[in-house]
Chain A
Amino acid sequence: MSAKTAGLGVGALAALVLLAFVPRLGNAYYLALAISLLQYTVLATAWGMFSGPTRYVSLATTAFFGVGAYTVAVLGEILPWPLVLLIAAALGAIVAAIVGLSTLRLSGVYFVIFTFGLTELIRQLVVWFEVNKSRVLGRYVFVDITQADIYWQLLGLTAAVFLLGWLIARSRLGFALRVIGEDETVATHCGINTTFAKVALFTISATVMTLVGAIMAPRWTYIEPSIAFNSMISFQVLIMALLGGAHRLWGPVLGAVPLTLLFELLSARFPNTFTIILGCIFLLIVYMLPRGVAGLFEKLSTTPGGKTTERVAA
């Protein structure tokens, strides 16, 4: 076990070092693609960290991504970059905690609808504020950050997310979430504060999403609410995590990589019918792979005698 863990750690570190050299290839197209891949990998993994064990389907990814991006649009030129990121993370965490406390008592369907509505609500709030208070709609982002910088920051965040997920899976919080995922009534009778556990994880996951938005913001030189709060991101992340399998920490990345490549291709070739194709892909995934690629791997590697029951994703 510990030898396996050590091996995994060394492997991950080696991959990280190798990936850190991508910007050195000097190919702008590959760098842009790599940024997209990392962006969706982090978003989908963060999505799975909460939704995997709790089975709550969140469409709020865009809301948090947008909060991060807009924080940069507003503060990016005024404050030092690390401070901007810190403020973005704090804002995301606060919004998530409030949303979590007020919605995680809702049952599944209401939660989905609420999180979708939340994105729109925050977007409209930003529009209202910009039009009435700051009297601008759309801002230029002039920060001294290169594409390579964005890539390295995302790579660092990717490493941090996997480390965090791994630690949570081994913590009492992770165990609590597994029990909640199995049977919430039993969980409460075991003395688990289920609301706290769910809000805590929702907040962690949302903070990561907010950071992705903040890190990505300098990629656009011009940001307006419809760019920062693009609902498409929520759906794409959902599809990726489900394709990969949200019940495992390493599941969502298996969906994020192929689908990012596919979406990149499709949106370039079929810009008008892209959303329809997206919908069809979504249906196919739900019908053919209810437990995602990760579930498929488990099925293939399961010995006839015992079932694979350990869930790494907390």
Chain B
Amino acid sequence: MSQDTATRVLEVEGLRRAFGGLVAVNDLGFAVGQGEIMGLLGPNGSGKTTALNLISGVLRSDAGTIRLMGQNIAGLASYRIARLGLARTFQLVRVLDGMDCRENIKAGLAFQKPHVPAAEAEVRIDALLDRVGLAGHDRRPAADLTYIDRKRLELARALAAKPRLLLLDEWLAGLNPSELTVGIELIRSLKADGITIVLVEHVMSAVRALCDRCIVMSSGRKIAEGATADVLSDAAVVKAYLGGVAADA
């Protein structure tokens, strides 16, 4: 994958964030090219979610730059970052329980600039319900959905804004084998649409199937980076994972 500045959707440099004495993200740097799926791996507590929180503006960084399509977004409010074309899902699924599926997805596109006309919004919502496998559930309250359907709905909401960059935090976790196959196909189809993805994932089969490149974090630092197959066979990576999550889930 070409790494010219022009094709870089996300570029992170010197990113740091500490919680008291604990440095959760330490001098993190990487770049993701247009249309690429970048795996962000590492054992529990290595700082993956914190990194996503920094990029999406939930947390403020102590130091470092984050560029989204060339623009520095470090310190920008989350809603501004969202309007610049970044969408995400959460490790602990977050859907709007008091609303139905249709409204949940509508929330994802109703506040984008430029404004999406109502008729187009309806068409887009229908297409998204269909795409994530929730067709016919549009009036169902989100609170009534099963775990997997909540994940689907959350992804549909993230996709509603037509993001340039999508951050997925263990979106495939907790799926059974057949659901996993469907999920992997779905993410692959997003790549085909030209969406750039940062994928935080413990499910190694999914990482192998989807990621063009990976970086591995341990205790907040990047310990490996490269093509997926190379990274997964790296001695330092295997060591970091020992005792943590097994090499395949």
Binding site for B on A (CB under 8 A): 172, 175-176, 178-179, 181-183, 185-194, 306-307, 309, 311
- Contacts A183-B94, A185-B58, A307-B141 hold; do A192 and B99 have CB atoms under 8 A apart? no
Judged by DSSP, the binding face of A is: helix
| Residue B56 is within 8 A (CB to CB) of chain A in the complex | yes
A223 to B90 CA separation, bound complex (whole angstroms) = 55
Instruction: Quote the shortest CB–CB distance from A230 to chain B (angstroms).
Output: 36
B10 within 8 A of A: no
Chain A residues in 8 Å Cβ range of B147: none
Assess the B99–A182 pair: CB atoms within 8 A.
Answer: yes
Inter-chain CA distance A179–B108, complex, in Å, is 10
Task: Please name 19 further chain A to chain B contacts, defined as beta carbons within 8 Å, in addition to the given A185-B78, A187-B79, A307-B141, sorted by A numbering.
Answer: A176-B110, A176-B111, A181-B98, A183-B94, A185-B90, A185-B94, A186-B157, A188-B58, A188-B77, A189-B88, A190-B79, A190-B108, A190-B161, A191-B79, A191-B111, A191-B161, A192-B111, A307-B143, A309-B99
Bits for B70-109, please: 1 = Cβ < 8 Å to A, else 0. Answer: 0000000111001100011010001111111001001110
Residues of B whose CB lies within 8 Å of any CB of A are 56-58, 77-79, 82-83, 87-88, 90, 94-100, 103, 106-108, 110-113, 141, 143-144, 157-158, 161
Chain A residue nearest in CB terms to B111:
A191
The reply to whether A175 and B107 contact each other, CB–CB distance below 8 Å, is: yes
Q: How far apart are the CA atoms of A194 and B82 in the complex, in Å?
A: 13
Complex interface: chain A residues within 8 A of B83 (CB): 191
Contact partners of A176 in chain B: CB under 8 A: 110-111
In the assembled complex, 5 residue pairs joining A and B whose CB atoms fall closer than 8 Å, in A order, are: A179-B96, A185-B78, A189-B78, A191-B113, A309-B100
* Chain B residues within 8 Å of A186, by CB: 94-96, 107, 157
Kindly state the separation between the CA atoms of A152 and B94 in the bound complex, as whole angstroms. Answer: 47
Contact B143 A194 (CB under 8 A): no
Q: Hey, which chain A residues are within 8 Å of B107, CB to CB?
A: 175, 179, 186-187, 190
Distance, CA A194 to CA B58, complexed state (A) = 13
CB distance from B71 to the nearest CB of A (A): 16
Nearest chain B CB to A105's CB is how many angstroms away? 11
Q: Which residues of chain A are within 8 angstroms of B96 by Cβ–Cβ distance?
A: 178-179, 182-183, 186
Cα separation A293 to B58 with both chains bound (whole Å): 37
In the A-B complex, the 3 residue pairs with the closest CB atoms? A188-B78, A191-B111, A182-B96
From residue B151, how far is it (CB to closest CB) to chain A in Å? 14
Supposing A307-B141, A309-B141 touch, asked if A188 and B79 sit within 8 A by C-beta, the answer is yes
Closest B residue to A189 by CB, please name it: B82
Least distance between A171 CB and chain B CB atoms (Å): 11
Minimum distance in angstroms from B167 CB to a CB of chain A:
10
Q: Given A172, A178, A194, which contacts B98 in the complex, CB threshold below 8 Å?
A: A178
A306 to B141, CA, bound (A): 8
State in angstroms the CA–CA spacing of A39 and B68 once bound together: 52
**Most chain B CB neighbours (cut-off 10 Å) among A189, A306, A309:** A189
Q: What is the CB-to-nearest-CB distance from A22 to chain B, in angstroms, rounded to a whole number?
A: 38
Most buried by A among B56, B83, B110, B141: B110
